[in-house]
Structure 1
Amino acid sequence: MSIAIRDVREHELDSVLALNNAAGPAILPLDAARLRQLYDSAEYFRVAERDGAIAGFLIGFGAHAEHDSSNFAWFRERYPDFFYIDRVAVASRRRGGGVGRALYADVQSYAELRYPQMACEVFLQPGTDHALLFHGSFGFREVGQHAMHVENRAEHDVRAAMLMKPLCSYPWVRDTYGDALPGEPWLLHPRPVRTANRATGLRA
């Protein structure tokens, strides 16, 4: 069956929460209140649907968002403009079936029209080597490491590899269209952009 990528619906947040908290050490657990906060503020929050069920999701923010992640802050201290992948998860029964790649292809098609690069992190702990390999195969490269404090973990400081990927289409889009993309339906993202006005770059 094909994979459909679409915006999350509010009534699906419980399913997203369960998927997030079953994903293992590669992603931090959430509670319902935090997920609601992400739903209300994320620039990009999409799910992958396969066989009528949610098979994965991805949440992202532009560099000028009001987002309180310490990893996001690490990137913002060093880079003026980027799109940040806050978290991505794929249901265990769907791993290896192309769901993660479909989500990354979709988020890149969104981000490369609006931002010069994409950022994310991968935790450096047992069980996350596959995540480093996955991101490396997509062109992400390590630009540093960051230790973040995590409550309710045996080891409170979790070290992450901080990864960046240049988005090669962005300079041409910026030079060609300036501050406004054409009004084509496929270019308009259905989620409202709640981030602050950007000093540079494009907005749909």
Structure 2
Amino acid sequence: MHVAETAVPGAYVITPHQHRDDRGSFYESMRADTFERMLNEPFVPKQISYSVSRGNTLRGIHSAVTPPGQAKYVTCVRGALRDIVVDLRVGSPAFGRYHSAVLDAASGVSVYLPEGVGHGFLALTEDTCICYIMSTMFVPGTQIDLNPLDPDLALPWGFTEAPLMSEKDTHAIGLAEALSTGILPLWRPA
């Protein structure tokens, strides 16, 4: 697999080497040894979740307070989506910067997000399914939700009509308010 760092420190795009023949294809989506070399520490999955979305559904920007924090490995397993990772770590040299990538089931491309980084996506097809492999289990009350349409973030979603959004995401706070409340995680250099 090919691993490429993004503009967000510690966030990576992982592109598998696919073996194709007349029957279809085979590829390794994740390898512990590759992750340990990349992160200089083990990534131990504690929870695997799936999200299924209608086309033009916008979800995010979501993160978790630290502790407990939550690193994520995300893969589109059906359909296609625009995936956006945002550095929310106060003091990070990339604070507020983002990385955008199109993930689709055919490519097998995945994105790894370290703790303290926000995540959201726009479903580009009907019945899009994303898989999250997470370093911690969900703990109620620890989620950080930012409005994905916050003008301070100015994220390049690329939709042509108003997206479908949850009430929670529609009414989530913006980056400036999150910063002023002190809920955002602190940057911890490696």
Q: TM-score, normalised by structure 1?
A: 0.30
Give 1 or 2: higher strand fraction.
2
Q: TM-score, normalised by structure 2?
A: 0.31
